[in-house]
Amino acid sequence: MLVETLLLVTLLGAGIVMLAPDRYAGKLAAGISVIPVALTTYMYYVFLTDYNGAGNALLSPGEVAFGTQVPWLNLGEYTVQYYVGLDGISMPLLALTTILTTLAIVSAWTPIDERQSQFYGLMLLMEVSLIGVFTALDFFLWFVFWEGVLIPMYFLIGVWGGPRRKYAAIKFFVYTNVASLVMFAGLFALVFATDLTTLSLPAMATTFRAATGLPTIAGYSLATISFVLMFVGFAVKVPVFPLHTWLPDAHVEAPTPVSVMLAGVLLKMGTYALLRFNFTMLEATARQLAVPLAIVGVVSVIYGAMLALAQRDLKRIVAYSSISSMGYVILGLVAFTPLGMGGATFQMVAHGLISGLMFMTVGVIYNTTHTRMVGDMSGLADRMPWTVGIFVAAAFGYMGLPLMAGFAAEFFIFQGAFDAATLGASAPVLTSLAMFGIVIVAGYLLWAMQRTLFGGFKLETDYEVGRAAFHDVAPLAVLLLLVIALGVAPDLSLDMIQHAIAPLTGGGA
Protein backbone atom coordinates (compact mmCIF):
# COMPACT_ATOMS: atom_id res chain seq x y z
CA MET A 1 0.00 0.00 0.00
CA LEU A 2 2.99 2.32 -0.06
CA VAL A 3 2.40 3.51 -3.63
CA GLU A 4 -1.24 4.25 -2.74
CA THR A 5 -0.09 6.15 0.35
CA LEU A 6 2.26 8.24 -1.81
CA LEU A 7 -0.53 9.13 -4.23
CA LEU A 8 -3.10 9.83 -1.50
CA VAL A 9 -0.82 11.97 0.69
CA THR A 10 0.29 14.08 -2.25
CA LEU A 11 -3.23 14.48 -3.64
CA LEU A 12 -4.70 15.46 -0.27
CA GLY A 13 -1.74 17.76 0.30
CA ALA A 14 -2.43 19.53 -2.99
CA GLY A 15 -6.03 20.18 -1.92
CA ILE A 16 -5.00 21.41 1.54
CA VAL A 17 -2.39 23.79 0.13
CA MET A 18 -4.82 25.24 -2.42
CA LEU A 19 -7.20 26.14 0.43
CA ALA A 20 -4.48 27.56 2.70
CA PRO A 21 -3.73 31.30 3.04
CA ASP A 22 -0.99 32.51 0.70
CA ARG A 23 1.37 33.44 3.51
CA TYR A 24 1.51 29.84 4.73
CA ALA A 25 1.25 28.01 1.41
CA GLY A 26 4.97 27.72 0.57
CA LYS A 27 6.03 26.37 3.97
CA LEU A 28 3.00 24.09 4.15
CA ALA A 29 3.64 22.68 0.67
CA ALA A 30 7.29 22.03 1.51
CA GLY A 31 6.31 20.28 4.73
CA ILE A 32 3.75 18.08 2.98
CA SER A 33 6.14 17.27 0.13
CA VAL A 34 8.69 15.94 2.64
CA ILE A 35 6.31 13.06 3.43
CA PRO A 36 6.60 11.52 -0.08
CA VAL A 37 10.38 12.02 0.12
CA ALA A 38 10.49 10.10 3.41
CA LEU A 39 8.23 7.35 2.06
CA THR A 40 10.25 7.05 -1.15
CA THR A 41 13.52 6.94 0.79
CA TYR A 42 12.13 4.08 2.87
CA MET A 43 10.90 2.30 -0.28
CA TYR A 44 14.31 2.80 -1.90
CA TYR A 45 16.02 1.25 1.13
CA VAL A 46 13.62 -1.69 1.16
CA PHE A 47 14.11 -2.14 -2.59
CA LEU A 48 17.90 -2.22 -2.19
CA THR A 49 17.78 -4.69 0.69
CA ASP A 50 14.79 -6.91 -0.20
CA TYR A 51 14.09 -6.43 -3.92
CA ASN A 52 17.48 -5.74 -5.49
CA GLY A 53 17.08 -8.77 -7.71
CA ALA A 54 13.60 -7.74 -8.86
CA GLY A 55 13.03 -8.22 -12.53
CA ASN A 56 11.48 -6.04 -15.21
CA ALA A 57 7.94 -4.95 -14.31
CA LEU A 58 6.68 -5.70 -17.83
CA LEU A 59 8.57 -8.94 -18.44
CA SER A 60 8.72 -10.36 -14.89
CA PRO A 61 5.47 -9.14 -13.28
CA GLY A 62 5.76 -11.71 -10.50
CA GLU A 63 8.88 -9.93 -9.22
CA VAL A 64 7.45 -6.40 -9.08
CA ALA A 65 8.05 -4.53 -5.81
CA PHE A 66 5.27 -2.79 -3.86
CA GLY A 67 2.69 -4.10 -6.33
CA THR A 68 -1.09 -3.78 -6.08
CA GLN A 69 -3.47 -5.28 -8.65
CA VAL A 70 -7.24 -4.74 -8.28
CA PRO A 71 -9.99 -5.05 -10.95
CA TRP A 72 -11.36 -1.62 -11.83
CA LEU A 73 -13.70 -1.44 -14.82
CA ASN A 74 -14.44 -2.83 -18.27
CA LEU A 75 -14.00 -0.83 -21.48
CA GLY A 76 -15.91 -2.94 -23.97
CA GLU A 77 -14.00 -6.20 -24.24
CA TYR A 78 -10.97 -4.86 -22.40
CA THR A 79 -10.43 -5.20 -18.66
CA VAL A 80 -8.92 -2.22 -16.84
CA GLN A 81 -7.19 -2.66 -13.49
CA TYR A 82 -5.78 -0.48 -10.79
CA TYR A 83 -2.32 -1.97 -11.22
CA VAL A 84 0.80 -0.32 -9.79
CA GLY A 85 4.29 -1.46 -8.87
CA LEU A 86 7.98 -0.66 -9.11
CA ASP A 87 11.12 -2.17 -10.55
CA GLY A 88 14.72 -1.06 -10.94
CA ILE A 89 13.83 1.33 -13.76
CA SER A 90 10.96 3.15 -12.08
CA MET A 91 12.29 3.20 -8.51
CA PRO A 92 15.14 5.70 -9.17
CA LEU A 93 12.80 7.91 -11.24
CA LEU A 94 10.21 7.90 -8.45
CA ALA A 95 12.88 9.01 -5.98
CA LEU A 96 14.01 11.72 -8.42
CA THR A 97 10.43 12.99 -8.69
CA THR A 98 9.75 13.35 -4.97
CA ILE A 99 13.14 14.88 -4.16
CA LEU A 100 13.05 17.42 -6.99
CA THR A 101 9.49 18.43 -6.15
CA THR A 102 10.41 19.31 -2.58
CA LEU A 103 13.52 21.22 -3.61
CA ALA A 104 11.64 23.04 -6.39
CA ILE A 105 8.96 24.10 -3.91
CA VAL A 106 11.59 25.52 -1.54
CA SER A 107 13.29 27.31 -4.45
CA ALA A 108 9.95 28.97 -5.24
CA TRP A 109 9.75 30.82 -1.92
CA THR A 110 11.63 33.84 -3.27
CA PRO A 111 10.32 34.29 -6.85
CA ILE A 112 6.63 33.32 -6.35
CA ASP A 113 4.89 36.19 -4.57
CA GLU A 114 1.32 36.05 -5.87
CA ARG A 115 -1.42 33.41 -5.87
CA GLN A 116 0.92 31.24 -3.87
CA SER A 117 -1.69 28.75 -2.67
CA GLN A 118 -2.68 27.87 -6.22
CA PHE A 119 0.94 27.67 -7.39
CA TYR A 120 2.08 25.26 -4.68
CA GLY A 121 -1.13 23.26 -4.92
CA LEU A 122 -0.56 22.77 -8.64
CA MET A 123 3.05 21.73 -8.01
CA LEU A 124 1.84 18.98 -5.68
CA LEU A 125 -0.92 18.01 -8.11
CA MET A 126 1.72 17.63 -10.81
CA GLU A 127 3.71 15.43 -8.45
CA VAL A 128 0.69 13.11 -8.08
CA SER A 129 0.58 12.55 -11.84
CA LEU A 130 4.34 12.08 -12.09
CA ILE A 131 4.27 9.44 -9.34
CA GLY A 132 1.46 7.72 -11.24
CA VAL A 133 3.37 7.73 -14.53
CA PHE A 134 6.33 5.91 -12.98
CA THR A 135 4.27 3.39 -10.99
CA ALA A 136 1.22 2.54 -13.15
CA LEU A 137 1.26 -0.88 -14.86
CA ASP A 138 -2.11 -0.67 -16.61
CA PHE A 139 -2.25 1.42 -19.78
CA PHE A 140 -5.54 3.18 -19.00
CA LEU A 141 -4.34 4.16 -15.52
CA TRP A 142 -0.94 5.13 -16.90
CA PHE A 143 -2.52 7.28 -19.63
CA VAL A 144 -4.70 9.11 -17.09
CA PHE A 145 -1.57 10.09 -15.16
CA TRP A 146 0.37 10.80 -18.39
CA GLU A 147 -2.23 13.30 -19.57
CA GLY A 148 -2.81 14.56 -16.03
CA VAL A 149 0.67 16.10 -15.97
CA LEU A 150 -0.33 18.52 -18.76
CA ILE A 151 -3.03 20.31 -16.77
CA PRO A 152 -1.00 21.70 -13.84
CA MET A 153 1.98 22.38 -16.12
CA TYR A 154 -0.21 24.40 -18.50
CA PHE A 155 -1.42 26.64 -15.69
CA LEU A 156 1.98 26.90 -13.99
CA ILE A 157 3.47 28.28 -17.20
CA GLY A 158 0.42 30.26 -18.35
CA VAL A 159 -0.27 32.05 -15.06
CA TRP A 160 3.12 32.50 -13.39
CA GLY A 161 5.36 32.61 -16.46
CA GLY A 162 7.09 35.44 -18.30
CA PRO A 163 5.76 37.98 -20.83
CA ARG A 164 5.01 35.34 -23.50
CA ARG A 165 3.66 32.81 -21.03
CA LYS A 166 0.31 32.23 -22.76
CA TYR A 167 1.97 31.47 -26.08
CA ALA A 168 4.47 29.10 -24.42
CA ALA A 169 1.77 27.33 -22.40
CA ILE A 170 -0.48 26.79 -25.42
CA LYS A 171 2.45 25.62 -27.55
CA PHE A 172 3.50 23.16 -24.85
CA PHE A 173 -0.04 21.83 -24.46
CA VAL A 174 -0.73 21.49 -28.19
CA TYR A 175 2.58 19.78 -28.99
CA THR A 176 2.38 17.27 -26.16
CA ASN A 177 -1.33 16.58 -26.56
CA VAL A 178 -1.06 15.95 -30.30
CA ALA A 179 1.96 13.73 -29.58
CA SER A 180 -0.16 11.71 -27.15
CA LEU A 181 -2.77 11.16 -29.86
CA VAL A 182 -0.11 9.95 -32.30
CA MET A 183 1.27 7.56 -29.68
CA PHE A 184 -2.24 6.37 -28.80
CA ALA A 185 -2.98 5.59 -32.45
CA GLY A 186 0.23 3.59 -32.81
CA LEU A 187 -0.34 1.55 -29.68
CA PHE A 188 -3.98 0.73 -30.28
CA ALA A 189 -3.32 -0.29 -33.87
CA LEU A 190 -1.41 -3.18 -32.30
CA VAL A 191 -3.97 -3.75 -29.55
CA PHE A 192 -6.78 -4.15 -32.11
CA ALA A 193 -4.64 -6.43 -34.27
CA THR A 194 -4.01 -8.90 -31.43
CA ASP A 195 -6.19 -10.94 -29.09
CA LEU A 196 -5.62 -8.80 -26.00
CA THR A 197 -8.48 -8.64 -23.50
CA THR A 198 -6.69 -6.55 -20.88
CA LEU A 199 -4.80 -3.27 -20.94
CA SER A 200 -2.22 -4.45 -18.43
CA LEU A 201 1.26 -3.37 -19.56
CA PRO A 202 2.83 -6.78 -18.81
CA ALA A 203 0.10 -8.47 -20.88
CA MET A 204 0.70 -6.01 -23.70
CA ALA A 205 4.44 -6.67 -23.60
CA THR A 206 3.97 -10.45 -23.68
CA THR A 207 1.44 -10.28 -26.54
CA PHE A 208 3.30 -7.76 -28.71
CA ARG A 209 6.65 -9.53 -28.32
CA ALA A 210 5.12 -12.83 -29.42
CA ALA A 211 2.85 -11.42 -32.14
CA THR A 212 3.17 -13.02 -35.57
CA GLY A 213 1.27 -12.64 -38.81
CA LEU A 214 0.59 -8.93 -38.28
CA PRO A 215 -0.84 -7.14 -41.33
CA THR A 216 1.29 -4.92 -43.56
CA ILE A 217 0.44 -1.43 -44.79
CA ALA A 218 2.16 -0.08 -47.93
CA GLY A 219 4.74 -2.80 -47.57
CA TYR A 220 5.56 -2.02 -43.93
CA SER A 221 4.74 -4.30 -41.02
CA LEU A 222 2.14 -3.01 -38.55
CA ALA A 223 4.76 -3.47 -35.83
CA THR A 224 7.09 -1.05 -37.64
CA ILE A 225 4.35 1.51 -38.26
CA SER A 226 3.19 1.33 -34.65
CA PHE A 227 6.77 1.63 -33.42
CA VAL A 228 7.35 4.78 -35.48
CA LEU A 229 4.07 6.37 -34.33
CA MET A 230 4.83 5.65 -30.68
CA PHE A 231 8.41 6.84 -31.06
CA VAL A 232 7.25 10.15 -32.56
CA GLY A 233 4.66 10.57 -29.80
CA PHE A 234 7.17 9.99 -27.03
CA ALA A 235 10.03 11.83 -28.80
CA VAL A 236 8.08 15.10 -28.55
CA LYS A 237 8.13 14.77 -24.78
CA VAL A 238 11.87 13.87 -24.65
CA PRO A 239 12.36 16.01 -26.89
CA VAL A 240 14.60 15.06 -29.81
CA PHE A 241 15.39 16.93 -33.02
CA PRO A 242 13.31 18.07 -34.91
CA LEU A 243 10.42 17.80 -32.41
CA HIS A 244 12.03 20.06 -29.83
CA THR A 245 10.79 23.54 -30.72
CA TRP A 246 8.28 23.81 -27.88
CA LEU A 247 10.96 23.28 -25.21
CA PRO A 248 12.96 26.56 -25.24
CA ASP A 249 9.80 28.69 -25.16
CA ALA A 250 8.38 26.67 -22.27
CA HIS A 251 11.63 26.89 -20.29
CA VAL A 252 12.23 30.59 -20.88
CA GLU A 253 8.69 31.63 -19.97
CA ALA A 254 8.17 29.21 -17.08
CA PRO A 255 9.10 30.30 -13.54
CA THR A 256 12.33 28.69 -12.42
CA PRO A 257 10.79 26.02 -10.10
CA VAL A 258 8.61 24.88 -13.00
CA SER A 259 11.64 24.73 -15.32
CA VAL A 260 13.32 22.55 -12.70
CA MET A 261 10.44 20.06 -12.83
CA LEU A 262 10.14 20.30 -16.61
CA ALA A 263 13.80 19.50 -17.29
CA GLY A 264 14.36 17.30 -14.26
CA VAL A 265 11.33 15.00 -14.47
CA LEU A 266 8.88 15.73 -17.31
CA LEU A 267 11.44 15.12 -20.05
CA LYS A 268 12.21 11.77 -18.42
CA MET A 269 8.59 10.74 -18.96
CA GLY A 270 9.39 10.56 -22.67
CA THR A 271 12.54 8.45 -22.34
CA TYR A 272 10.89 6.25 -19.70
CA ALA A 273 7.95 5.62 -22.03
CA LEU A 274 10.29 4.87 -24.94
CA LEU A 275 12.04 2.25 -22.83
CA ARG A 276 8.78 0.73 -21.57
CA PHE A 277 6.81 0.70 -24.83
CA ASN A 278 9.14 0.89 -27.83
CA PHE A 279 12.22 -0.88 -26.53
CA THR A 280 10.46 -3.46 -24.34
CA MET A 281 7.17 -4.26 -26.07
CA LEU A 282 8.62 -4.00 -29.60
CA GLU A 283 12.19 -5.05 -28.94
CA ALA A 284 12.66 -6.83 -32.28
CA THR A 285 11.56 -3.75 -34.23
CA ALA A 286 13.78 -1.50 -32.10
CA ARG A 287 16.77 -3.68 -32.92
CA GLN A 288 15.95 -3.51 -36.63
CA LEU A 289 15.71 0.28 -36.54
CA ALA A 290 18.69 0.76 -34.20
CA VAL A 291 20.93 2.60 -36.68
CA PRO A 292 18.41 5.28 -37.80
CA LEU A 293 17.33 5.73 -34.17
CA ALA A 294 20.96 6.17 -33.12
CA ILE A 295 21.42 8.76 -35.88
CA VAL A 296 18.43 10.67 -34.46
CA GLY A 297 20.08 10.54 -31.03
CA VAL A 298 23.49 11.70 -32.29
CA VAL A 299 21.96 14.54 -34.33
CA SER A 300 20.07 15.66 -31.22
CA VAL A 301 23.33 15.64 -29.25
CA ILE A 302 25.22 17.79 -31.75
CA TYR A 303 22.33 20.02 -32.83
CA GLY A 304 21.20 20.73 -29.25
CA ALA A 305 24.76 21.57 -28.23
CA MET A 306 25.27 23.88 -31.22
CA LEU A 307 22.00 25.70 -30.49
CA ALA A 308 23.08 26.16 -26.88
CA LEU A 309 26.40 27.57 -28.09
CA ALA A 310 24.52 30.30 -29.99
CA GLN A 311 22.40 31.49 -27.03
CA ARG A 312 22.88 34.51 -24.79
CA ASP A 313 20.10 33.74 -22.27
CA LEU A 314 21.35 31.43 -19.50
CA LYS A 315 18.00 29.65 -19.37
CA ARG A 316 18.04 28.98 -23.09
CA ILE A 317 21.57 27.63 -22.83
CA VAL A 318 20.50 25.08 -20.22
CA ALA A 319 17.27 24.32 -22.12
CA TYR A 320 19.03 23.47 -25.37
CA SER A 321 21.66 21.46 -23.53
CA SER A 322 18.83 19.21 -22.29
CA ILE A 323 18.10 18.26 -25.91
CA SER A 324 21.74 17.29 -26.26
CA SER A 325 21.72 15.21 -23.08
CA MET A 326 18.55 13.34 -24.04
CA GLY A 327 20.24 12.37 -27.31
CA TYR A 328 22.71 10.34 -25.25
CA VAL A 329 19.78 8.44 -23.76
CA ILE A 330 18.53 7.46 -27.23
CA LEU A 331 22.02 6.27 -28.21
CA GLY A 332 22.33 4.15 -25.07
CA LEU A 333 18.89 2.58 -25.44
CA VAL A 334 19.43 1.43 -29.03
CA ALA A 335 22.69 -0.27 -28.06
CA PHE A 336 20.81 -3.02 -26.20
CA THR A 337 23.88 -3.73 -24.08
CA PRO A 338 23.92 -3.82 -20.27
CA LEU A 339 26.13 -0.74 -20.02
CA GLY A 340 24.49 1.12 -22.90
CA MET A 341 20.90 0.61 -21.83
CA GLY A 342 21.81 0.77 -18.13
CA GLY A 343 23.77 3.97 -18.72
CA ALA A 344 20.85 5.49 -20.64
CA THR A 345 18.50 4.83 -17.72
CA PHE A 346 21.10 6.11 -15.27
CA GLN A 347 21.44 9.22 -17.45
CA MET A 348 17.74 9.93 -16.92
CA VAL A 349 18.38 10.23 -13.19
CA ALA A 350 21.75 11.99 -13.50
CA HIS A 351 20.48 14.55 -15.99
CA GLY A 352 17.37 15.11 -13.86
CA LEU A 353 19.55 16.10 -10.93
CA ILE A 354 22.10 18.14 -12.90
CA SER A 355 19.61 20.01 -15.10
CA GLY A 356 17.45 20.75 -12.07
CA LEU A 357 20.53 22.11 -10.31
CA MET A 358 21.50 24.25 -13.31
CA PHE A 359 18.04 25.77 -13.70
CA MET A 360 17.75 26.35 -9.98
CA THR A 361 21.13 28.13 -9.89
CA VAL A 362 20.20 30.32 -12.86
CA GLY A 363 17.00 31.13 -10.99
CA VAL A 364 18.89 32.28 -7.89
CA ILE A 365 21.10 34.51 -10.05
CA TYR A 366 18.01 35.94 -11.78
CA ASN A 367 16.25 36.59 -8.44
CA THR A 368 19.18 38.82 -7.48
CA THR A 369 20.17 40.45 -10.79
CA HIS A 370 16.79 40.38 -12.61
CA THR A 371 18.53 39.42 -15.85
CA ARG A 372 19.65 36.17 -17.45
CA MET A 373 21.52 37.69 -20.41
CA VAL A 374 25.21 36.83 -20.55
CA GLY A 375 26.25 40.32 -21.70
CA ASP A 376 24.34 42.11 -18.93
CA MET A 377 26.45 40.96 -15.99
CA SER A 378 29.92 39.86 -14.99
CA GLY A 379 32.02 39.36 -11.86
CA LEU A 380 29.26 37.77 -9.77
CA ALA A 381 31.69 35.42 -8.02
CA ASP A 382 32.76 38.02 -5.47
CA ARG A 383 29.18 39.02 -4.63
CA MET A 384 27.52 35.56 -4.67
CA PRO A 385 30.32 33.09 -3.81
CA TRP A 386 28.18 30.13 -2.72
CA THR A 387 25.78 30.37 -5.64
CA VAL A 388 28.57 30.82 -8.15
CA GLY A 389 30.60 27.98 -6.64
CA ILE A 390 27.67 25.58 -6.99
CA PHE A 391 26.96 26.86 -10.51
CA VAL A 392 30.54 26.08 -11.53
CA ALA A 393 30.35 22.62 -9.96
CA ALA A 394 27.05 21.92 -11.73
CA ALA A 395 28.48 23.07 -15.05
CA PHE A 396 31.46 20.76 -14.66
CA GLY A 397 29.00 17.99 -13.85
CA TYR A 398 27.26 18.73 -17.14
CA MET A 399 30.64 18.54 -18.88
CA GLY A 400 31.23 15.06 -17.47
CA LEU A 401 33.67 15.77 -14.64
CA PRO A 402 34.75 12.44 -13.04
CA LEU A 403 33.18 11.54 -9.69
CA MET A 404 29.93 13.25 -10.69
CA ALA A 405 26.77 11.53 -11.91
CA GLY A 406 26.98 12.92 -15.46
CA PHE A 407 30.41 11.38 -16.04
CA ALA A 408 29.28 7.94 -14.88
CA ALA A 409 26.16 8.01 -17.08
CA GLU A 410 27.94 9.15 -20.23
CA PHE A 411 30.86 6.75 -19.69
CA PHE A 412 28.47 3.81 -19.42
CA ILE A 413 26.59 4.91 -22.55
CA PHE A 414 29.74 5.37 -24.63
CA GLN A 415 31.24 2.09 -23.48
CA GLY A 416 28.01 0.23 -24.11
CA ALA A 417 27.38 1.78 -27.53
CA PHE A 418 30.92 1.65 -28.92
CA ASP A 419 30.74 -2.00 -29.97
CA ALA A 420 26.98 -2.57 -29.86
CA ALA A 421 25.93 -5.39 -32.16
CA THR A 422 22.68 -3.60 -33.02
CA LEU A 423 24.65 -0.72 -34.56
CA GLY A 424 27.08 -2.92 -36.46
CA ALA A 425 30.03 -1.23 -38.15
CA SER A 426 28.55 2.21 -37.52
CA ALA A 427 28.76 1.84 -33.72
CA PRO A 428 32.26 3.38 -33.25
CA VAL A 429 31.49 6.23 -35.66
CA LEU A 430 28.17 7.16 -34.08
CA THR A 431 29.59 6.89 -30.56
CA SER A 432 32.60 9.06 -31.45
CA LEU A 433 30.34 11.72 -32.96
CA ALA A 434 28.21 11.72 -29.82
CA MET A 435 31.33 12.08 -27.67
CA PHE A 436 32.20 15.22 -29.62
CA GLY A 437 29.11 16.78 -28.07
CA ILE A 438 31.00 16.98 -24.78
CA VAL A 439 33.52 19.32 -26.40
CA ILE A 440 30.73 21.66 -27.52
CA VAL A 441 29.14 21.50 -24.07
CA ALA A 442 32.43 22.55 -22.51
CA GLY A 443 32.67 25.41 -25.01
CA TYR A 444 29.35 27.06 -24.31
CA LEU A 445 29.37 26.49 -20.54
CA LEU A 446 32.92 27.77 -20.08
CA TRP A 447 32.12 30.77 -22.29
CA ALA A 448 28.98 31.59 -20.32
CA MET A 449 30.70 31.21 -16.94
CA GLN A 450 33.68 33.32 -17.92
CA ARG A 451 31.44 36.14 -19.13
CA THR A 452 28.97 36.17 -16.22
CA LEU A 453 30.75 34.91 -13.12
CA PHE A 454 34.31 36.18 -13.31
CA GLY A 455 36.19 39.35 -14.17
CA GLY A 456 35.26 42.85 -13.04
CA PHE A 457 31.80 43.37 -11.61
CA LYS A 458 29.19 44.77 -13.98
CA LEU A 459 25.40 44.72 -13.94
CA GLU A 460 23.12 46.40 -16.46
CA THR A 461 20.10 46.28 -14.15
CA ASP A 462 19.78 48.57 -11.15
CA TYR A 463 19.74 46.00 -8.33
CA GLU A 464 21.97 45.38 -5.34
CA VAL A 465 23.84 42.07 -5.65
CA GLY A 466 24.66 40.16 -2.50
CA ARG A 467 24.68 36.68 -1.03
CA ALA A 468 21.52 34.68 -1.69
CA ALA A 469 19.24 33.71 1.19
CA PHE A 470 19.85 30.39 2.92
CA HIS A 471 16.59 28.89 1.63
CA ASP A 472 17.73 29.69 -1.93
CA VAL A 473 21.16 28.08 -1.58
CA ALA A 474 20.15 25.04 0.52
CA PRO A 475 18.30 23.23 -2.33
CA LEU A 476 21.33 23.81 -4.57
CA ALA A 477 23.64 22.22 -2.00
CA VAL A 478 21.37 19.20 -1.59
CA LEU A 479 21.21 18.60 -5.34
CA LEU A 480 24.98 18.99 -5.71
CA LEU A 481 25.56 16.43 -2.96
CA LEU A 482 23.22 13.98 -4.73
CA VAL A 483 25.05 14.52 -8.03
CA ILE A 484 28.37 13.76 -6.32
CA ALA A 485 26.95 10.79 -4.40
CA LEU A 486 25.73 9.10 -7.58
CA GLY A 487 29.00 9.92 -9.30
CA VAL A 488 31.07 8.36 -6.51
CA ALA A 489 28.73 5.40 -5.98
CA PRO A 490 26.70 4.85 -9.18
CA ASP A 491 25.74 1.36 -8.00
CA LEU A 492 23.23 3.01 -5.68
CA SER A 493 21.03 3.07 -8.79
CA LEU A 494 22.88 1.19 -11.51
CA ASP A 495 22.63 -2.25 -9.90
CA MET A 496 18.85 -2.16 -9.68
CA ILE A 497 18.63 -0.70 -13.19
CA GLN A 498 20.71 -3.52 -14.66
CA HIS A 499 18.59 -6.16 -12.94
CA ALA A 500 15.53 -4.62 -14.59
CA ILE A 501 17.00 -4.36 -18.09
CA ALA A 502 18.65 -7.80 -18.02
CA PRO A 503 15.75 -9.45 -19.91
CA LEU A 504 16.32 -6.95 -22.74
CA THR A 505 20.10 -7.27 -22.94
CA GLY A 506 20.44 -11.03 -22.61
CA GLY A 507 20.95 -11.07 -18.85
CA GLY A 508 24.58 -9.94 -18.91
CA ALA A 509 26.10 -7.52 -16.46
- Determine what percent of the chain is predicted with pLDDT higher than 70: 99
Predicted confidence (pLDDT) at residue 508 exceeds the cutoff of 60: no
Cα 234 to Cα 184, 239, 270, 279, distances in angstroms: 10, 8, 5, 12
The per-residue pLDDT for range 318-364, each reduced to its tens digit, is 888 888 888 999 999 999 999 999 999 999 999 999 999 999 999 99
pLDDT tens string 368-378: 888 888 888 88
pLDDT band at 5 (very low <50, low <70, confident <90, very high): very high
The answer to pTM > 0.75 is: yes
How far is C-alpha 32 from the geometric centre of its chain's CA atoms?
A: 23
Distance separating alpha carbons of residues 88 and 453, to the nearest angstrom = 39
Cα distance between residue 13 and residue 128, in whole Å:
10
Comparing CA positions, the residue from 437, 349, 351 lying closest to residue 394 is 351
The pLDDT tens digits for 431-478 are 999 988 888 888 888 888 888 888 888 888 878 888 888 888 999 999
Task: Give DSSP secondary structure letters for 253-269.
Answer: HS-HHHHHHIIIIIHHH
pLDDT tens sequence across 218-256: 878 899 999 999 999 999 988 888 888 888 888 888 999
What is the average pLDDT across 15-38?
94
Cα three-residue angle 314-173-11, rounded to 5 degrees: 95
**What is the overall mean pLDDT for the chain?**
90
385-403 b/e (C-beta count within 10 Å ≥ 16 → b):
eebbbbbbbbbbbbbbbee
- Report yes or no: 478 and 356 within 8 Å, Cβ to Cβ: no
